[in-house]
Chain A
Amino acid sequence: MTEAREERRFAEVSRDSVKLMAESAGVELSDDLAAMLAEDVCYRLREATQNSSQFMRHAKRRKLTVEDFNRALRWSNTEAICGYGSQDALPFRPLKEGEFFFVEDREVNLVELALATNIPKGCAETTVRVHVSYLDGKGNLEPQGTVPSAVQSLSDDLLKYYQQITRAILGEDPHLMKVALLDLQSNSKIAALLPYFVYVISGVKSVSHDLDQLNRLLHMVKSLVQNPYLYLGSYVRSLVSSVMYCILEPLAASINPLNDHWTLRDYAALLLSHIFWTHGDLVSGLYHQILLSLQKVLSDPVRPLCSHYGAVVGLHALGWKAVERVLYPHLPAYWANLQAVLDDYSVSNAQVKADGHKVYGAILVAVERLLKMKAMSLTPSSEGGAAALHKSAGGVMGFRESSPGLSPPPEPLSEPPLGIASHLQAGGAGCQWEEWTPVSLPAMYCELYSFFGDSLAVRFSTGPALGSAPPPGPLQSQEARKEPGSGAANLESTRKMPQLTANMNISPRQDGSPHTDPAPPSLAATATGRSLARSSSSSTSVPRSRSSSSRPGRSASQSRDIFPKARFPPPQAGPPAFSFVIGGRQMGRRCQGRRFQTSFTPTPPLGSLPPRAYAHKLPVIGRVSKPMRCWTCSHYSLYLPL
């Protein structure tokens, strides 16, 4: 009975087998001896097997191999068995007559083997590959062990498409790039590739030294954003962070002053606002996040000026409300820093100073529009509404896209807008920012004026000048302003005077520029189409604007006393509104239905616009370009929501 149990538990070598083997070795065994031997052999086999399992465990396998067993045999000073090392299963064959099983052991013809021509190819090289990734410990929502669905549905064709597109966009050939971008913009079957493209775009961080590549990547963002068939979902966040990177980070490329990273930042800012206005509703709180990070950069004095510049243009691009909320309250604090940079005439500071002027210009543009828009929002809604209705000839759809530029709060975006008037009202009411008390326009103007002085005033008052003949306002204001300047007995103020007049001279001239050649921001402007004119023009006018602006903040009270009285009542009454009407008309003229091209959002055609227009919109300090900028600016605000 015990025997039977034993048999069930272990493989047994029968005494007959032992006898047989002994016979084959030429030894005659008695039954007793054979039985004892058999038992011992069994035991030894079990022992060896147990030992061999240790080798298996340490080799981190589940399969016991012949090799393991041989090692165990070697441990116990037994000869290893040769010839069974093959990975394949060994054929175990029965022999009927002897109830005998054996492993087939065919003879191998060595000569044949040696001379065989079909030499097996060497097995592939052992390699290490990074494979499954669980990002932030996630990816587990999907069935475990499977690849993410997007990857799963990735056919070869798609993969090829992806490769071609990325290669074309990041490659050398500009024409090919355009084609690729266009396709990316209109292809309806690339949803599965979205994560890949987003990933590629997130590569901006690794090519911060290469403006060209950054530009290409940004264009890729634009194409993706404009593709009506793509649902960006939470990838918006990733895209925004890539774009923000281009706007805010002190790119490696900016070390070389010859690199025009400013343009890149402007473009990225534009793109940011575009993404935000078209897809902002996909991610809640995005607007606030963006504002917050922009504010953070702006309030960080350690950051280089180009970052600050990025923050300013970013705010500007997000609309005047953003400027009012973030930039304006922060200006007094920031001003002191900027001033310090601008006042340093040392040679070593030249570069930084030039950067400072850029920032200065950007701020100027931003606040200028802020004032304008604010003034506009304050005018009776009838007027504004009329103007708006004129403008929004493109229809409600067109309006929907364009209105956010005027009133940033993202909430209205989600609900169907009724008309621009309602938006304006909503915007004027300050909407969701209850905690923030809006500064009255006059007060704001006063304060801003204390910073920017003449340059600001010119901007403000030239608006009306466009429509009417040479306005009396500006002249008045200049006179009024001159008084505090000279009263302070400031050397600079005296220097400032002739420049101011020069400024005046130019302003009438500008009316041609916006009309004949309106300069809406051109998103479609390719990387090649950028002009450096802006920077060169800025350098010529630097001294003036700097000196005028260099009036320290503490002298502001002085000017404030005089200024509102002399300055404000007239403009508040009519001129701002007037200028708006003109602008609106202009806009209306330009915003014909033909502008809306893509199927899901009727956006104005971008490619058709001359690239240099884009360049003009960039903030510049020089007088020459100022009026123009002034115009492009108002354009800009209306065109923003492309």
Chain B
Amino acid sequence: PTWLNTTNEIARIFTSILRAFVITQVASALGKMATVQDGPTDPESEKETKPDILSDGSANLPGLTSGALSTSPVTAPSTGTSKPEDQQTLLAVLQFLKRNNLTESVDILRREAGLSDEADDTQGAEAGGGGLGTGASVGAESGDANSLLSRVSIGTGASQNTVASTPAKGGEDQPDVSVVLSAYSQQGDPSLYQVYYSGLKKFIESVLDCHRAELSQVFYPLFVHMYLELVYNNYENEAKAFFEKFSGDQECYYQDDLRVLSGLTKKEHMKGNETLLDFRTSRFVLRISRDSYQLLKRHLQERQNNQIWNIIQEHLYIDIFDGMPRSKSQIDSMSGSLAGEARRDANKTKVFYGLLKEPEIEVPLDDEDEEAENEEGKPKKKKPKKDSMGSKSKKQDPNAPQQNRIPLPELKDSDKLDKIMYMKETTKRLRLSPETLPSICFYTFLNAYQGLTAVDFTDDSSLIAGGFADSTVRVWSVTPKKLRKVKSAADLSLIDKESDDVLERIMDEKTASELKIMYGHSGPVYGISFSPDRNYLLSSSEDGTVRLWSLQTFTCLVAYKGHNYPVWDTQFSPYGYYFVSGGHDRVARLWATDHYQPLRVFAGHLADVTCTRFHPNSNYMATGSADRTVRLWDALNGQCTRIFTGHKGPIHSLAFSPNGKYLASGSTDGRVLLWDLGHGLMIGELKGHTDTVYALKFSRDGEILASGSMDNTVRLWDAIRAFDDVETDDFTAATGHIHLSDNSQELLLGTYLTKSAPVIHVHFTRRNLLLAAGAYNP
């Protein structure tokens, strides 16, 4: 297919990866961007989202394997500003590149910088003019620029030297710590750290209740940074004492991180500790109301508490908002992620969450089917088809992306047939409601000694596939129809290709069996996904590859290499052809089946990407991560359009609602959170599970959310009510401060126990029968 000029795309991505990598490394090395937060948050600053995206990248990614801004053509040029200070930065970068013999990149960077000179001139000037004074969430670019300026000019060549000296040592995946940590070099009296901290603590405890909750947010990041600073400066005992004294004050949902932190007592250990790198390199985002912030600022300035003030300025990003301070529960519901909350401006981009128009398919009136339908029961002779087709396809959803926003494969005849089948099934679908709950069938994997790690059903529920820890992928037929391979080439040549039943003839009856095992991976298979047309199967494995299997021949067709580290999850687009994968390398990748390299690389997560899901309209994909955030990525330009924080543990399951408006995510803490994609808001919290939620799925019409968990239960939730109950007035929509009513118990429609089998997959058939799957675990 020539419709996607991918070679170009890949080339661009590659260079951009390189560039971004270099730039971000250098940038973060040079500038520990001291974003001054005290200025007013003028609404104008929100318009400067563009530079922010970049700074987001540079703030979050430095040193990542492939800190790729896959959108580079759009955003990257803005790095190369023409201001003298930036020129200096550029020079430093170029120097660095030259030293590493990356001549090509040097050329590219030169070219791009030169090209963008004029374009960015105005922008730079504007930012410089308005930015300096305004502060706050002022475009990070100007902030960057300024700090860079100061560093480069004042900080002498020292920092430049660090840059120069660091590079090779770190290699691809071991970004140099000294670069990252260099900011910790400035130090106060280690013995006073406890005093500083408890002073602040005392102050915050003494302020008015309404401010206390907000200001308490500062504790955790402050604590971590102070601890790390102590460790970094080799004050091991002070660090331990500090940790001992204050770790108990931290919110319980940071326990996991604290445990990691507590193990770390030596500067050497900080090297290679990814959690810490994340913490250091990304600025912890806090949302604080203006009043509270002013209070804090005044206090710190009065006390001349520079130590803390410096940390706040350098390592925290304080997102100031006007209005009522948030309550404790509001804060708690949104916090918990590795890097604090999402900035408000990170969720401002418009998301086209509507569904694509279904292609119109003429439904032939098939007598046989008609007959079958009549036998089934109600005489729905005349009406069903046209109605179900017409109502949906005529109107174009205002929130839907353009039909050709991303190119989608054309429907084959077999797809059309399948669509027709789907329509027919749809007419027989059970309307679910709290009164009519679905029946549940549990598929138990018996004798799965090797360990069942992933399960998927085909959309029509005819096949079930399991990925196993012994590297195999097994496909079972759930229907009486056996699985058959295509005949060998020699036999195929004998077949009359003109015959009507050629598709039947090419199948080898001798190979018919209920189960097919596919070998190829060299590590546990963690993710598995059927293509919508049931011809292919994807599997992602610990061996770092994603494999595409043919379900005609039951052989491996392609091994997509790129992740290099375990690939935790993969999923086909609902329209086929594309698929997304995410793994330990902290990036999600968008692939097309006929390209051996990814089309897009979505970088931004601070920890492993643990699960990936396509939006029903195929234009977006959601990723859940061990950094306890959910991100939504745009397939078109690779941007991160939504960041959802609130989970307190790694996210292991995601599900889009069938109408594309909502997203549900489940994590190791057993909670399921609901998100409104359009507004970028959390709109619900479903508490009930007592262990990791590994499976989520909305019913076909979106009335019911089914969740499957490690605690051996399937739970059903009233999705409609969960979405309806939320009051989203303009204020909450604008600020994102949502009151979540604790109504999980009312939303919980049922809890269904399995027989000692953790639920790792749930699936609604086209008629809304709920299928769940898991391995018997005695």
Contacts and interface: CB of A to CB of B under 8 A. Distances in A.
Interface of A: 2, 5, 9-10, 39-40, 43, 46-47, 50, 54-55, 57-62, 67, 71, 75-76, 87, 123-138, 140, 144-145, 205, 208, 249-252, 300, 302-303
Contacts of A46: 263
B751 A126 contact: no
B694 interface: yes
A47 B273 contact: yes
A132 B754 contact: yes
B44 to A, nearest CB: 43
Contacts of A140: 750-752
A303 B440 contact: no
B443 A129 contact: yes
Contacts of A252: 371, 375
Contact of A128 (B262, B464, B760): B464
Contacts of B240: 2
A130 B751 contact: no
Q: Which 9 pairs, one residue from A and one from B, show the smallest C-beta to C-beta distance?
A: A137-B437, A145-B753, A134-B440, A144-B753, A124-B447, A132-B442, A46-B263, A131-B444, A131-B442
Contacts of A57: 650, 652, 668, 692
B375 A250 contact: yes
Q: How large is the interface on B (under 10, 10 to 19, 20 to 34, 35 or more residues)?
A: 35 or more
B375 A249 contact: yes
A333 B753 CA distance: 54
Contacts of B754: 131-132, 145
Interface string B240-269: 110010000000000000001011111011
A60 B453 contact: yes
Contacts of B446: 124, 126-129
A530 B547 CA distance: 62
6 contacts: A40-B269, A58-B568, A61-B451, A127-B515, A128-B466, A132-B441
A76 B524 CA distance: 18
Contacts of B404: none
Contact of A58 (B453, B710, B758): B453
B316 interface: no
Nearest to A135: B439
Contact of B237 (A2, A300, A302): A2
Contacts of A67: 469
Contacts of B266: 39-40, 43
Contact of B436 (A5, A136, A205): A136
A128 B476 contact: yes
Interface string B460-483: 000010101100001010100000
B752 A144 contact: yes
A137 B772 CA distance: 13
Contacts of B341: none
A125 B755 CA distance: 20
Contact of B451 (A59, A124, A132): A59
Given A130-B443, A137-B437, A137-B749, 14 more contacts: A2-B237, A55-B566, A58-B524, A60-B453, A60-B710, A60-B758, A87-B449, A128-B773, A130-B441, A132-B754, A133-B440, A137-B440, A145-B753, A251-B375
B263 A60 contact: no
Contacts of A249: 374-375
B374 A250 contact: yes
A75 B564 CA distance: 11
B63 to A, nearest CB: 17
B450 interface: yes
B723 interface: no
Contacts of A71: 523, 542, 566
Contacts of A136: 436-439
Contact of A126 (B447, B694, B716): B447
A585 to B, nearest CB: 46
B524 A59 contact: yes
Contacts of B524: 55, 58-59
Interface in B362-388: 371, 374-376, 379, 381
Contact of B694 (A39, A60, A138, A144): A60
A133 to B, nearest CB: 5
Contacts of B439: 133-137
A192 to B, nearest CB: 20
B445 interface: yes
A129 B438 CA distance: 19
B518 to A, nearest CB: 13
A57 B453 CA distance: 10
Which of A60, A129, A205 has most chain B Cβ within 10 Å? A60
A137 B111 CA distance: 64
A117 to B, nearest CB: 24
Contact of A302 (B379, B710, B752): B379
A251 B451 CA distance: 47
Nearest to A9: B262
A58 B566 contact: yes
Interface in B199-257: 237, 240-241, 244
A300 B379 CA distance: 9
Contact of B447 (A76, A127, A250, A303): A127
B652 A133 contact: no
Contacts of A124: 446-447
B445 A128 contact: yes
A255 to B, nearest CB: 8
A95 to B, nearest CB: 29
B141 interface: no
B78 to A, nearest CB: 36
A303 B379 contact: yes
Interface in B729-754: 749-754
B452 interface: yes
A80 to B, nearest CB: 12
A62 B476 CA distance: 26
Given A132-B755, A145-B754, A54 B445 contact: no
B273 to A, nearest CB: 7
A10 B441 contact: no
A131 B240 CA distance: 53
A58 B447 contact: no
B264 A43 contact: yes
Nearest to B439: A135
B445 A127 contact: yes
A43 B442 contact: no
A43 to B, nearest CB: 5
A465 to B, nearest CB: 44
A168 to B, nearest CB: 25
A184 B750 CA distance: 37
A33 B489 CA distance: 67
Nearest to A297: B379
A58 B237 contact: no
A9 B445 CA distance: 38
Contacts of A126: 445-450, 466, 468, 474
Contact of A137 (B438, B447, B452): B438
A123 B470 CA distance: 14
A125 B268 CA distance: 49
Contacts of B438: 136-137
Interface in B497-530: 515, 523-524, 526
Contacts of B515: 125, 127
B608 interface: yes
A447 to B, nearest CB: 29
A2 B268 CA distance: 20
B379 A131 contact: no
A137 B468 CA distance: 30
A101 to B, nearest CB: 23
A530 B440 CA distance: 43
Contact of B375 (A75, A76, A208): A208
A130 B442 contact: yes
Nearest to B749: A137
A281 B765 CA distance: 37
B610 interface: yes
Contact of A123 (B447, B468, B712): B447
Interface in B409-460: 436-453
A136 B754 CA distance: 16
